[in-house]
Chains A and B, each alone.
Chain A
Amino acid sequence: MATPLDHASTEDPILVRAAQAGEEAAFEELVARHRDRIYARAFSVVRNEDEAIDLSQEAWVKGWQRLTQFHGESSFSTWMTRIVINLCLDHLRRRKRQPTDSLDALDEDSGGVERYMAPVTVNPTQRLERGELRARIDAALGQLSDAHRTVLVLHEFEEMEYKQIAETMGCSIGTVMSRLFYARRRLAALLADLRGEERSS
């Protein structure tokens, strides 16, 4: 008789194989282990806590259904992250476009003021505590359009190359480069503004 798995001390690949064979408890352990990362990725893209929870849970259900298609080409968490990103992109496509998105797109098409803005010379995040920095980045990311934020997230957090981002988002590499540049410059400006606002208050 086979010895039952001690899930908490079992490595991912073994848990994955058990889950592929239908062992739900193994899958639960995988969920517990990687839920923060999957949720964080959903939240960084959609910027809404409830939507991020729903999308991350949907991703786990899809992951379970497609688990037999996972052959270990990447780590399990990377594979799950790709699933949640695709769900988030579908969600954003379905979501009604906000008027600010149209303006952002217009800015991007015409080059955007940030393209010609003088670089931020002082590091706006210098000497900030981690929590403070995170709150500030949170606020700045929230002001980017979905398209610009998503490119930034895929590049900076997922460490995807331009080509991979273009494939994931269904756009050209040129568009990816342009959006990434715009997003970074705007983020730098927003972080500087936020710091300026704090100083004046």
Chain B
Amino acid sequence: MKEQEQDLVLKVQAFVDGELPEPEQAGIAALIARDADVAALVKELKQTRQALAGYDEAVALPESREFYWSRIQRELARFPREQPEPVRGSLGALLLRWLLPATCVAALVAVGFLFLQSPWSAGGEVTWQAANDNVNAFTYRDYEEGLTVMWLSYPSDNTVADSAEAATLN
């Protein structure tokens, strides 16, 4: 019986606090309306809430602004803000590993295309070839002008990926 009473008073309190589930609200409201003791309990709970309202608004720190802040400031100097650690697989790492080499290759192709379309290549004998099987080096020769140009690209992404620096990102 006592346990049932305990459950009941806690439900009454939840009703006062607006935390009682809706299906139970009507039952508790009816109980409050017909039981004078429960109604008195509700009144007391509400009075206590009212008494506490605004209680701590008047509480003020018993120290001056300067004195209070000076200690905080000392602690800020002692314990500086932690910098967030770099995140593995971050955007920067992705750029370094894939985008930059890919951009270099794309730039080389674009430059080569421009040269083939340019007036330099009009007439005369021109060759455009990879210097070797490695696509990272290209040679342009214009025999008429006696001109030879060689491009060396950025190291391949494998070089970056295999480096010790890149290994720390994984």
Contacts and interface: CB of A to CB of B under 8 A. Distances in A.
Interface of A: 22, 24, 27-28, 31-32, 35-36, 39-41, 43-44, 49, 53, 56-58, 60-61, 64-65, 67-68, 111, 115-116, 118-121, 123-125, 130-131, 133-134, 137, 152, 155-157, 161-162, 174, 177-178, 180-181, 184-185, 187-188, 191
Interface in B70-109: 71-73, 75-76, 79, 81-82, 84
B49 to A, nearest CB: 7
Interface of B: 2, 5-6, 9-10, 13-14, 17, 19, 37, 40-41, 43-45, 47-53, 55-63, 65, 68-69, 71-73, 75-76, 79, 81-82, 84
Contacts of B55: 133-134, 137, 157
Nearest to A28: B69
A44 B56 contact: yes
B48 A184 contact: yes
Contacts of A118: 37, 40
A41 B160 CA distance: 55
Contact of A39 (B5, B6, B61, B65): B61
Contacts, number: 123
Interface SS of chain B: helix
B81 A61 contact: no
Contacts of A184: 13, 44-45, 48-49
B60 to A, nearest CB: 5
A161 B52 contact: no
Contact of A36 (B48, B51, B59, B79): B59
